[in-house]
Amino acid sequence: MTELASFIAGLPKAELHVHHVGSASPRIVAELAARHEGNSPVPADPAALADYFAFRDFAHFIEVYLSVVDLIRDDEDVRTLTYEVARELARQQVRYAELTVTPYSHVNRGIPAPAFCTAIEDARAGAARDFGIELRWCFDIPGEAGLPAAEETLRIALEERPDGLISFGLGGPEIGVPRPPFKPYFDKARAAGLHSVPHAGETTGPGTIWDALRDLGAERIGHGITAAQDPQLMAHLADHRIPLEVCPTSNVRTRAVTSIEEHPLPALVAAGVTVTINSDDPPMFGTTLEEEYAVAAHLLGLDAAGVADLARAAVTASFLPHAGKERLLTEIGDYAAGHA
């Protein structure tokens, strides 16, 4: 392990863009596939999952992602998955994570909303107790399911309101799923005190990001990499300190970006845009948050001090209360000082 990789491995971190089901480890996915063998295309052999997770394009990624969602059949599956995701994040020294959860996908497959929310909350409490990690939830609309999914996601968010819920999102494919029709749902979520964190500008152009800002009141943008095509938008993001949740390897694996060397992260940083580094769906993309920090360090030419600044940016952009931010920023500062 290089000196920088070792520094990254021990660095206290916050993770702001990581999907619940997309974080299921190969071991957990294979166990679920074996449990439901015969009625799922997902391999029950962990070694075969790398080939299964070779995505032709973003549409194929969504197809594969939903096949994994289909493996989660009851609240105990939800509880186990969530707890194991927290274990892996904590192994990487993640102290705080905002996990993107899509309750509609599970409720629509027969898990009652109260049971689903109880399961993730049980796992959240267990993770805090056993791993020392704080989890919070972003309830995410699966865009491919349209406005009925938005209605149901909002209903679950407002009626169940699990203690860890802090934000409201919109994910899934962007092509063919414009942002403006979702405005009424975001308006109600924001009125109820939830933060707005929609995906935008991953596989579509800067116009989608403008729509997310103007219509959905976005406080952070999931991905947002096509902002690099619009200098006016980059200036707006920089001036208003609206962070992007950047996931470099994800963008290459879904073919949103041709190669890692062509990733627009350096252009965004050069324009003064606040960026945070995240892992998105790490096992599906063959990565970890640690590896994403290493990729970002390579693209941006960072040393250990620069990498520590990336970790600070994620904490600052998070929805942690002030005292929690200060504690984690102090921990990062102490760690960096000890390795100077």
> Given this model, what pLDDT does residue 258 score?
96
pLDDT of residue 1: 66
Q: What is the pLDDT of residue 227?
A: 98
What's the whole-number average pLDDT of the chain? 94
Q: Tell me, what's the pLDDT at 50?
A: 75
The mean pLDDT of 297-320, rounded to a whole number, is 98
For 303, other C-beta atoms within 10 Å of its C-beta total 11
Phi, psi at residue 282, to the nearest 5°? Answer: -55, -50
Q: Measuring CA to CA, how many Å separate 107 from each of 17, 31, 43, 142?
A: 22, 21, 24, 12
Q: Output the CA angle 317-272-175, nearest 5 degrees.
A: 70
Per-residue pLDDT for 237 more than 90? Answer: yes
SS3 239: helix
Q: Which residue in 31, 98, 121, 202 is the catalytic one?
A: 202
C-alpha 129: how far from chain center: 23
Domains in the chain (CATH in brackets) are 3-338 (3.20.20.140)
- Average pLDDT for 279-291: 92
pLDDT confidence tier of residue 299, bands split at 50, 70 and 90: very high
Three-class DSSP category at 276: strand
Segment holding 275, helix H or strand E:
strand 275-277
Q: Give catalytic status of residue 63 as yes or no.
A: no
CB 328 within 8 Å of CB 96: yes
Mean per-residue pLDDT for 50-57? 81
pLDDT, one tens digit per residue, over 114-158 is 999 999 999 999 999 999 999 999 999 999 999 999 999 999 999
What span, in angstroms and rounded, lies between the C-alpha atoms of 271 and 328? Answer: 27
Residues 6+ apart with CB under 8 A from 291: 249, 279
Q: pTM for the whole thing?
A: 0.94
Answer yes or no: is pLDDT of 39 > 90.
no
